[in-house]
Amino acid sequence: MQDMNFAGATPSDTGDLIKDSTISGFMKDVIETSQQVPVLVDFWAPWCEPCKALTPTLEQVVKEAKGAVRLVKINIDENQQLAAQMQIRSVPTVVMFSGGRPVDAFAGALNADQIRQFIARFVGEVGPSPEEQLLEQAAMLKEQGDLENAGALYSQLLQSDPEHAGAIAGLAKVLIQMGDLENARNVLSSAPAEQENNAEILSARRELEMAEQAAELGDVTELEAKLFENPENHQARFDLALALWAQQRREEAGEQLLEIIRRDRSWNEDGARQQLVKFFEIAGPADPFTVKMRQKLSSLLFA
C-alpha cells in the first residue's frame, strides 16, 4: 500500500448515462430521452449537504444499471425557473421521467439499496456491481478490525479505477486507523479536483484532520485525570473527545462533547457543537452514531 501511484489516471467514461443539464437542454435531455429510456432527474444545489451524499450514490446505481436508466443533474441555483415549474420545494429531490412525463419522485438522501428499489419499479432489478461488492466486503473487513485485508481490497479496486472516490476514502480511513497518517494524506491527495466536494472524500479528510489533532493531545488517561481534578475544564474534555474518537471510541467521544454543551453551550464560540457536527460528517448522515447523537443534541439545544 505504501508504494501506490495514482499518476496518469483519467476519468471514467460515463457517456450519455450521466449528464448535467439546464432549462434549455431539459426537453432533449429529459423529455425526449425518456421516450426511449427512463430518466432520473436529480435536482440539487451546491450548498445542500445531503446532495453531496446522494449524487455519488445515484451515479453509482445508474452505472450499475448499464444503460437501463439515465441520470440528469439540475443545479436549482442556476435553473430557478425550471425548479419552480417542477414545483421543487426542497433538495435533493429526484424525479423519474418515463414516456416524456414525470411518473414518480422522492426527496432526501436515500441509500443505494433504496435507490435500486425505486428504479426497479421502472426498469427491473438493479444489482450491485462487482466494484460495489468489493467495496462492501472491504467495509465489512474494516468494521471487523481486519485493516490489512480491507486495505488490500481497496488497493485492488484502485488498480482498476484509480479515481474511485469510495476506494480512495476507504483506503485513507484504513491507513488512519493503522496510524499511518502520512500515507493516508498521500492517498487523499490523489483524488482528482472534481472530487474535492465528494462526501466520502470530505469525510476521510475530516477524519485525517481529527487524527492529526489527536496525535498532539497526549494520552487519554492524562486527559481523564485532568477532568477528574476539574470537571469544568472544558478544553480537557474537548481534547479527550478528539483522543477518544481517534481510538474509534465514537460514542464516548460524542458524549464528552454533549457534556460540554450541557455545561456551557457557548464555550469556545460553540466549539463543542461544531466539533460534533464534524463527527457527523465523518460518520455519515445514516450512521447509527449520527442518528443517536443528533437526537441527543436536539434534546439539549431545544429543551
Catalytic residue among 18, 39, 41, 48: 48
Tell me the C-alpha to C-alpha distance, in Å, between residue 50 and each of 14, 121, 198.
23, 24, 11
Tell me the C-alpha to C-alpha distance, in Å, between residue 70 and each of 2, 65, 76.
38, 9, 19
* Residue 257 three-state SS: helix
Task: Confirm whether 51 is a catalytic residue.
Answer: yes
**Cβ contact 164:158 at 8 Å:** yes
Catalytic residue among 30, 51, 244, 253: 51
Task: Confirm whether 24 is a catalytic residue.
Answer: no
* Residue 67 three-state SS: coil
CA distance 138 to 131: 11
* Residue 173 three-state SS: helix
Neighbouring residues of 221: CB distance < 8 A, sequence distance ≥ 6: none
Report, as residue numbers or ranges, the catalytic residues: 48, 51
